Structure 1
Amino acid sequence: MGRYDFRPLRVRQTAKALFDTKRNDALPQWYQVLGDIPPSEALSRPVQRTPRVRGMRKPSKMFQPLPIAYPEDKLRSEFFGDHPWELARPRLVVEDSGNDAKAFDWSKIVQAGKQLDGESVIQHQLWLMKNKSYSKLRAYDQARSEFYHHRHLEDVRRRVAKEEALHVGAYFGKGPLEVGMELEDKAWESWKRWAERQIDEEQSMRAQMFSGPQEGDEAAVDQYEDPLDELAVSEPAALQGPPGRI
């Protein structure tokens, strides 16, 4: 049939031929319907384009969606640009109504029932700008200093709790620093073995290229030194030259 298969377009003709040759007793039920609504002969759907008329103005932008921007967006980009590792901290993003932040009192950066994170800094900074008329930089410095203070207190409480647990017999697994040091040690040992193999291969290649005595071959060295000693002893005094002066 070639590249394209046109047999589906000839289904009605085939059914009529089978009926005329009495191979089928009756025409199929879809025979009349297919004759009234024949299938398309084009294998690809044409692209419908709206004809352009001269003098026709472009459609109005009234029905296009407007750009949505919030004042917090720029504050977020600045804070997380200065503190990129805050994005690596796990966060709880499930909310009840989507407006949970409005139920908190953002005059304080620490809220009951909410973990201290970058969003706390942003909302507290926005509250200072709106209610105390702080400038953007002053509100950012104020919120950031409070964030550093409370995050430091959290770290102190965490260390104290760990020390108390260890004192009463608790056991903790390896921390991130210990795991990192073990991985670093494994990488170092692997590199060390590779370097030793490289050194051995280079020494063996140099030994094959050098035709003189090899390192550690004391017998070969003695073989060359003994005749030189004999020549030095048997050299006549006249050839040795005058004795050196002091």
Structure 2
Amino acid sequence: MVRRVATQVHKQASRLLRGEYLKARPAWFQAVLDHPPLPLPARAPPARIGDDRPKKVSSLRPQDPKVLPIIYIEDEIRRQFFRDHPFEAFRPTTLTEGGAIRDEHPIRGKAWIRLRQRGRNPSPEDCILFVVNLHKYHDYSLNQAYITAVAQFRSLRSEHHIATLVGATEAEQHGAQFGLTQTEIIFNKETEALETWAKKREADISAAANRKRWRAIIERHGPISEFTKGREYVRLWKEGVRPDYSPVLTASAMDAAEEDVNFAPPFSEGS
């Protein structure tokens, strides 16, 4: 299909209806006829000089339109707030909306003069909106509004933290038992991981010992003599002295037998 300009779509549809290529009017046809799109601006012809040579038209052509940056004051305040309070970003929150978007809080505008009016445990978004409200409706400068809102936010957070600690202490005094905190759970997981490393090291040591079990282990008895490259062995052979390894092999068995004899229990008188 030939590509059409947006301002000519309804004209093309009219031609298709007259030629009976379209059996019925599209749903948008009458609305476009009632409110036709704006025509495109006409292009200016290139400027020419006396010798009919084209002049440089780079400066005469309109510049390409550029979208201006969209800046909201809430974004600047939010960026500064989380730069000053980075741990507020770790607090759990939900991004899921319910069946309908929640209505705007009734306390707003000039009636909103203190952050406590939105609750004793405000969220970062409440503090950001309070800064904007002070700046718009109470003639505060942006810097002064931010300082005022942050000071109230910190005081409310401190009150909530102290009240939580006192409530937990009172509950423990009355016999309440709380589970492990998230920090303790993480420490326990780290301890378990370190114990697995120790078990792995023990397993590696036992595996290395098993591999060495079948290696030849030579036990030397007596003083270590100087290496003579076999000359001492040949001399003893010529003199008729034969090496005897039986004492070394049977020493352990003989020692065990002597121990059995020495520590044998005496016979009873009736035997």
Normalised by the length of structure 1, the TM-score is 0.51
1:121 to 127, 130, 135: 127
State the distance in 2 between where 1:82 and 1:191 align.
39
* Over 6 Å off, 4+ runs: 208-212
1:195 aligns with 2:191: no
The structural deviation recorded for 1:95 is 9.7
State the distance in 2 between where 1:108 and 1:51 align.
58
Asked whether the 8 Å contact 1:80–1:86 carries over to 2, the reply is yes
Larger Rg over CA atoms: 2
State the distance in 2 between where 1:183 and 1:177 align.
10
What are the ranges of 5 or more consecutive residues in structure 2 without an aligned counterpart? 6-39, 43-67, 227-271
Asked whether the 8 Å contact 2:134–2:145 carries over to 1, the reply is yes
Q: 1:90 to 1:98 in 2, by over 3 A?
A: closer
Q: Which residue number in structure 2 is paired with residue 147 of structure 1?
A: 153
1:101 aligns with 2:54: no
Asked whether the 8 Å contact 1:106–1:123 carries over to 2, the reply is no
1:172 aligns with 2:216: no
SS in 2 for 1:103: coil
1:130 to 132, 136, 144: 136
Larger helix share, 1 or 2: 1
What are the ranges of 5 or more consecutive residues in structure 1 without an aligned counterpart? 1-47, 59-65, 214-219, 231-246
Residues 125-172 of structure 1, C-alpha deviation per residue, up to 9 Å, x if partnerless? 113323454443443233223212211111110011011111111122
1:71 aligns with 2:67: no
The structural deviation recorded for 1:98 is 4.7
Asked whether the 8 Å contact 2:82–2:88 carries over to 1, the reply is yes
State the distance in 1 between where 2:142 and 2:213 align.
74
Residues 73-124 of structure 1, C-alpha deviation per residue, up to 9 Å, x if partnerless? 3322432454454343235966987552353443211225574110121022
Identity %: 27
**Two-structure CA RMSD over aligned residues (Å):** 4.0
2:88 to 86, 89, 92: 86
Amino acid at match of 1:147: F
State the distance in 2 between where 1:86 and 1:49 align.
56
Q: 1:139 to 1:149 in 2, by over 3 A?
A: same
